[in-house]
Amino acid sequence: MSHPAAIATASTTMTYAQAAASALTEAMRADPTVIAIGEDLGRGGVFGQYRTVEGKNLVEVFGTERVIDTPISEATIMGAGVGMALAGLRPVVEMRVADFALCAIDELVNQAAKNRYMFGGQGRVPLVARLPIGIWTASAAQHSQSFEAWFAHVPGLVVATPSTPQDNYSLLHAALASGDPVVYMEHKELWCMQGEVTPERIELGRARIAFSGSANRNDLTVVSWSRQLHACVDAARQLAERGVHAEVIDLRTIWPWDRDAVLASASGTRRLLVVHEAVQAAGFGAEVAATVAEHTDARVARLGAPRIPVGYASSLEAESRISAAQVVAAAERLLTR
């Protein structure tokens, strides 16, 4: 059976979806215990995330015993994945969108997350649950939610939120190597985003500096993740044109999160703005803001969506989106406090 070319040493331009497919392809080639299970995998996934750069669906490459199409039953899919992981496999469990994973919450939160603790380490659940988050244009309230804070609250789960094709490649490799259950939250509107991807490997829990307004001293720290990061970088560029220097940090993983990187930046700028697409009330931004407030003398502020369902009409949907203009306004308010 022939295999598509994997990333070796060179930089390659690919989409966010292709980057994840490339990482999964490499992992499946290297380790026969890595499998994929879920709905629509046979046609390459809803978003093409199980289709190679060359256009082959992964089932054509690895066969139906390792790329397994399932009936529409999220609880069954997740439960099967947990059982496979306990039996020695390393399953990638596809939920299509995070909203649907609520039907599998017991299997993920009460079984996968707690098994290692409850049985004294006798069992491990090296499972990667792909739960795409975020607003999906014109898909309304049941297909546009961001639940990263829910899963960060659960002991035993790792939570990853890649924002670029490079991170979707590198973080998926890290998730597959973790040995613990990883809630892997790609964004529904980033699948077609293109970028350069290299063989770089990264650790879970390591943030990156996505933008720095000054090589010497920045005026404020902006922390974000997933698709919202790009609005924050856009805002930082606009602020730079006004003489305000912002350092934008992409957390990349929500749990563990890079406290050291955020605290170091906020200690220097003494101002922190946390921005996320999820509802602001009880969002993960509150954890970041509280931690910075406890350990530094920085002023802190949060910016997130209002506590409303995402509307279907474009005018209503827009009420749940956080724009670069809103980030700029929030940053300016923080600077003048």
User: Which value, in Å, is the radius of gyration of the alpha carbons in the chain?
Assistant: 20
Give me the catalytic one of 3, 143, 276, 295: 143
- For residue 3, the model assigns a pLDDT of 39
- For residue 1, the model assigns a pLDDT of 35
Q: Is the pTM of this model over 0.85?
A: yes
What type of residue sits at position 250? D
Q: Is 143 a catalytic residue?
A: yes
Q: Are 70 and 45 in contact (CB under 8 A)?
A: no
Say which residue the tokens 């978003």 belong to. Answer: 47
- For residue 337, the model assigns a pLDDT of 77
The token duo for 243 is 């003489």
Separation of alpha carbons 323 and 243, rounded Å: 20
What type of residue sits at position 310? V
- For residue 214, the model assigns a pLDDT of 84
- For residue 264, the model assigns a pLDDT of 97
Contacts of 242 (CB under 8 A, 6+ apart): none
* Among candidate residues 214, 215, 219, the one with its CA nearest the CA of residue 332: 219
Report, as ranges of residue numbers, the positions in the chain whose pLDDT lies below 50. Answer: 1-6, 8
- For residue 297, the model assigns a pLDDT of 97
Separation of alpha carbons 299 and 271, rounded Å: 5
Q: Are 245 and 266 in contact (CB under 8 A)?
A: no
- For residue 80, the model assigns a pLDDT of 97
Q: Is 6 exposed, middle or buried (0-12, 13-18, 19+ CB in 10 A)?
A: middle
Q: Which domains does the chain possess?
A: 12-197 (3.40.50.970), 208-336 (3.40.50.920)
